Amino acid sequence: MNGQEITMKFDELLDITKQSFATFLAHTEQAIREERPLLLAVDEEAVDPDKLALDVALVRAAPVAVVPMHSEFQPLEQSGHRFLMARDGMYLEVRRPWLHVIHQLAAQSAVRMPYGAIEAKVEFGFGKIGTSLEELRAFGEIARLKSPIESAASVIWNDETREWAIRYPLPIGEPTTGHIQFQQVLLAEREHLAIDLHSHGQAAAFFSDTDDQDDAGAVKISGVFGNLDQPVPTVAFRLCLLGLFIPITVPAAKIFEAAPATA
């Protein structure tokens, strides 16, 4: 067999190998497609690849997971969020270095779904909000001094040192009695904006429509201090979860000491 014949035989063998691999790959992809859970209700053979890629990216960013009925449930370990399908409906699970939440979004009991049960929870990595009392009081003093002009502060949690810090962001423009806009504070590694505070001067503490817009999509605790001309001002706190707002009870008397009674 001369060199030309060897080359021809090699080319034939290479073509056979390529064809065999292509056939193997096609069968493997089909087998995987049939065995894996279908997360997207699409015809993967006919769908636009670019649109499918976008949908897959969205699902990966906020995936849907089924709560197991027999196996042990594995909670999120990294920062992010996902939707959980459980026996009694759908839940939202959110994880941050300072927070782990499982909150029911929709309840149902009519249909027997083959999923496990799960309990709602709100767990702060720092324990109770009261561990930041020193920082809350510090902002209360500043807010009172600046009242009736609004003011703002960021309460930072360091998940490595497990310590609190308070910082006052630079305002954008001139704060007024009804509005404040500010730059977000810069965070070092292992630091997290856990509590976002602002004041309402002499007006009551409440969350306005503007606050709702500002907090939409955020994961943090928001707090408002109001009635700062009173012996014991008012406060309002809530946990913000990607557009969901969960009220948190914080006694104003714990933050503000009542002025002494006059004779």
pLDDT class of 133 with cuts at 50, 70, 90: very high
Q: Using CA atoms, how far apart are residues 13 and 6, in angstroms rounded to an integer?
A: 10
The residue among 10 and 71 whose pLDDT is bigger is 71
Does residue 136 surpass a pLDDT of 70? yes
Query: Which residues make Cβ contacts (< 8 Å) with residue 263, sequence separation at least 6?
Result: none
Q: Tell me how crowded residue 70 is: count the other CB atoms within 10 A of its CB.
A: 5
Q: Using CA atoms, how far apart are residues 101 and 121, in angstroms rounded to an integer?
A: 5
Mean pLDDT, rounded, for 201-220: 94
**Residues forming beta bridges with residue 153, ordered by sequence position:** 197
Q: Using CA atoms, how far apart are residues 16 and 33, in angstroms rounded to an integer?
A: 26
Does residue 145 surpass a pLDDT of 90? yes
Does residue 243 surpass a pLDDT of 80? yes
Does residue 30 surpass a pLDDT of 90? no
Quick one: pLDDT at residue 8?
57
pTM assigned to the model:
0.79
The mean pLDDT value of the chain amounts to 88
For the chain, domain boundaries: 1-36, 39-124, 130-255
Range in 19-23, 69-73, 97-101, 139-143 the model is least confident about: 19-23
- Which amino acid, 115? Y
**For residue 168, which of 159, 145, 177, 190 has the smallest C-alpha distance?**
145
Range in 1-5, 82-86, 110-114 the model is least confident about: 1-5
Burial of 202 (0-12, 13-18, 19+ CB in 10 A): middle
Range in 57-71, 103-117, 231-245 the model is least confident about: 57-71
Superfamily of domain 130-255: Cytidine Deaminase, domain 2 (3.40.140.10)
Mean pLDDT, rounded, for 24-49: 69
pLDDT class of 260 with cuts at 50, 70, 90: very low
Does residue 1 surpass a pLDDT of 70? no
Quick one: pLDDT at residue 55?
85
Name the token pair of 58: 């969205």
